[in-house]
Structure 1
């Protein structure tokens, strides 16, 4: 098929319209004329694979990574960075408009270095032709793809992955047992944590294995094992139990003038260059008596808010790291889900001046939106990694009386279709 690409949609595919419907083609750009071959998906959505670009966009560039197009990690390396940002802004606007939101504020874009930004990578381990390799999954499949580079990863992470493979001759039992490995570093690449995922844990030798790796990568401060306790390779359905460990069980990560303790395997924002800017957008210029930080994680926003509000309540369902560090007068760490906390708060008629929320990709959902409408805080800041669920939730909040005052797109995930949005909602107080 010869197709004219109209736009790029969330997920990274280009959209072309035909008389009998739309076709989606990956690795294309708006305005391009391409030749594509339709593929069968069985899902009701017409998809095609790119055969050749007949008339390229002026924004098309050569990708930096040799695995681009085959690896499932990146979708936008064929576009200039300015074009990537333009596509993401268009997708954000369209997602919010489709949700029924009109009169959107101008989208303010926040960027940093678009390569080498990731502070965490999780690699698979598998033998290829008798040689142990690290890699990801091939795009759209569960097939292992050995890789020789990952230019969006912090250089230390890739150096650690290469060093790991040199241990095979000395510590084969641990590497042969591992299905995956995760590396995590701080913004300055001065410290490194490693987590091995295994199905069966060898009886001994992990301390020596870790120390040998530290000889090659001196930044390594801690390592641990996570034993996969359930069948199946789907990460979403796997159950894990902690195994043996070596060194520190986490490390301090500096951001926005604060130091956060992040346990091995715990969540922390992935872009090491933009964390400070994200915190500034959420917390800057705000202060008062009471603030709530919902889905607080390790307290990325809570710690800064505590300097500006007399009392900050940080709510997190997995609050181990938060409870360890967020304690003193005016700082309250609550180990609960956001919906559990809000149900109690509504009954007790608590009302903060600011609500911050940074939910997972599924968003906050209808019940949380309804409870927040009853809390009626004068200002809310919503941090989202999914424009579709963001649009759904913002529409509910606007319908309850809030005004969408600010929209910020913080590009935490360059070269990929993923995007982070900071939305500021305000309402008139009685």
Structure 2
């Protein structure tokens, strides 16, 4: 397709530059506001086009050199070319725009952004694996911008170094296996003391393949597990036991998890996020707190150190079972209760939903908490802390809390859980 010279005027929610050609929006990968570029259109649609930079004619002063040699090919990061402070500012603008446009609300004040180490932070992830017969090579990495293709990565600077610096070795390892065409993905999971890789093997492995995987694990002090079927089929290969856990020292809590369980990707940011949530929620011995979408008890158990009673509700029954185990592990079973419930459907008749709670914590998935807000919070609830992984659903739910439930949006701000990506994690405080 032909090239065009354009001025980049804005940054989209997914980190692409925005230009206009004959009045039509064009999203330009790799371009920043204030730049002029020669671009090549790669995809056309009725309402907008997509393009890539062929040549930068003027550069933004906010542009930095990407650290990763795979930037622009791998879809894992889209903002490495933007100065870190401006990445945070861009995410704050996205959140503010969503509040205004979708929720028709604005916070009374903004929190300072929460940040932590920008590199080597990712302790959880899923690597795609593909044997390319024509190249006689195994690719291990994240997907390219075109999700049909696996990026050929030698290194990833956002993954924890024990894995991110060994992607080429992992590719060579899988390439040496008899079952190289039958390894579909590698799941990364790291606790404070153990790094684990779960290989999704689509057929039983030979003894020589098992020996090769074991040798790799022993050489690099990485636990190796196999997953021949569904999530329940995960079994350790080496060592025989793979204990995974992470500590929240400020709350004297230790949370155990399994390799495929959901945990917050960024350990440092998770601790900072929990500290801010506790500070905002301010649980007291007389408080009864409801924690919805509680997972393993990431917030529930720290809250239980300070509140009189905490109820956690989660949709995945296996996580509920482990949250109860974690409560017992930390000596908090007396003032905690956990329930399994699908929070995307009406639960107002559930026993836990009919109780009164003085405070509420919400940590929903990207879809938000719209169904819950049809029947909660009850009039006894004075304060809500909302942790969000999607600014659009937070803004929508903020509008509901303000307009229908009589709360005010006291404060909000972003948390940089995923540096160098366009992902916006945020936290908001609502008060009666």
Give the TM-score of the pair, scaled to structure 1. Answer: 0.88
SS at match of 1:17: strand
**Mapped contact 2:178–2:206 kept (Cα < 8 A):** no
Q: How does 1:188-207 map to 2 (within 5 A)?
A: 190-202=193-205
**How far apart are the structure 1 equivalents of 2:178 and 2:380?**
57
Question: In the aligned structure 2, how far is the partner of 1:161 from the partner of 1:47?
Answer: 30
Check whether the contact 1:121–1:157 (CA below 8 A) recurs between aligned residues.
no
Find the counterpart in structure 2 of residue 135 from structure 1: 141
Aligned to 1:253: 246
Which of residues 206, 229, 237 is equivalent to 1:227? 229
Check if 1:325 corresponds to 2:331.
no
Mapped pair 1:369 → 2:366: no
What is the CA deviation profile of residues 130-176 of structure 1, one whole-angstrom value per residue up to 9, with x for unaligned ones? 1223122211331122111101111012245455445458x723544
Of 290, 302, 305, which aligns to 2:303?
Answer: 305
2:78 — aligned with what? 75
Counterpart in the other structure of 1:231: none
1:286 aligns with 2:291: no
Partner of 1:216: 219
Deviates more, 1:106-115 or 1:159-168: 159-168
Name structure 1 gaps, 5 residues minimum.
229-239
Q: Are residue 24 (structure 1) and residue 21 (structure 2) matched?
A: no
Aligned length: 411
What residue in structure 2 maps to residue 84 of structure 1? 87
* Alpha-carbon shift at residue 82 of structure 1 (Å): 1.0
Shift, 1:209, TM fit = 4.7
Q: Is the CA contact (8 Å cut-off) linking 1:75 and 1:417 kept in structure 2?
A: yes
What secondary structure, in the 3-state scheme, does the structure 1 residue paired with 2:162 have? helix
- The reply to whether residue 418 of structure 1 matches residue 423 of structure 2 is yes
Q: CA deviation at 1:320?
A: 3.0
- Which structure 2 segments of 5+ residues have no match? none
1:392 to 388, 392, 396: 396
Render the CA deviation track for 1:326-347: whole Å, top value 9, x for unaligned. Answer: 2421111112223568413589
Deviations along 1:256-290, one digit per CA (max 9) or x if unpaired, are 43211011110110012211100011112332321
Q: Secondary structure of 2:268's partner?
A: coil
**Alignment check: 8 A CA contact 1:124 1:180 kept:** yes
Partner residue, 1:274:
269
Deviates more, 1:149-158 or 1:255-264: 255-264
The structure-2 alpha-carbon separation of the partners of 1:153 and 1:392, relative to structure 1 and needing over 3 Å to count, comes to same
Give CA deviations for 1:40-95 in whole Å, capped at 9, x if unaligned. Answer: 34463222222222121101011111110111111101111011111111111111
Residues 214/117 of structure 1: CA separation in 2 closer, same or farther (3 Å cut): same
The 8 Å contact of residues 290 and 352 in structure 1, kept in 2 or not, is answered as yes
Instruction: Give the TM-score normalised by structure 2.
Output: 0.88
C-alpha spacing 1:36/1:152, structure 2 compared with 1 (3 Å):
same
Distance of aligned partners of 1:212 and 1:359 in 2 relative to their CA distance in 1, 3 Å threshold: same
| Cα separation, partners in 2 of 1:262 and 1:209, compared to 1, 3 Å | farther
Please identify, of 394-403 and 191-200, the stretch whose mean Cα deviation from structure 2 is larger.
191-200
Write the distance in 2 (CA, Å) between the matches of 1:199 and 1:33.
Answer: 48
Partner of 1:234: none
| Aligned residues: CA RMSD | 2.4
Moved more, 37-46 or 20-29: 37-46
Return the alpha-carbon distance in structure 2 between the equivalents of residues 329 and 241 of structure 1. 29
**Mean CA deviation greater in 253-262 or 383-392:** 253-262
Contact 1:346 1:375 in 2 (8 A): no
1:201–1:243 CA contact under 8 A, matched in 2: no
Any residues of structure 2 matched to 1:139-158 within 5 Å, and which?
139-158=145-164
How far apart are 1:121 and its partner, in Å?
2.8
Task: Please give the alpha-carbon distance, in whole angstroms, between the structure 2 residues aligned to 1:39 and 1:348.
Answer: 50
Distance change (3 Å), C-alpha of 1:267 and 1:348: closer
Q: Does the CA-based 8 Å contact 1:160-1:217 persist in structure 2? A: no
Maintained 8 Å contact 1:222/1:248:
no
8 Å CA contact 2:363, 2:386 repeated in 1: yes
CA distance in 2, matches of 1:316, 1:209: 39
Change (3 A) 1:359 1:64: same
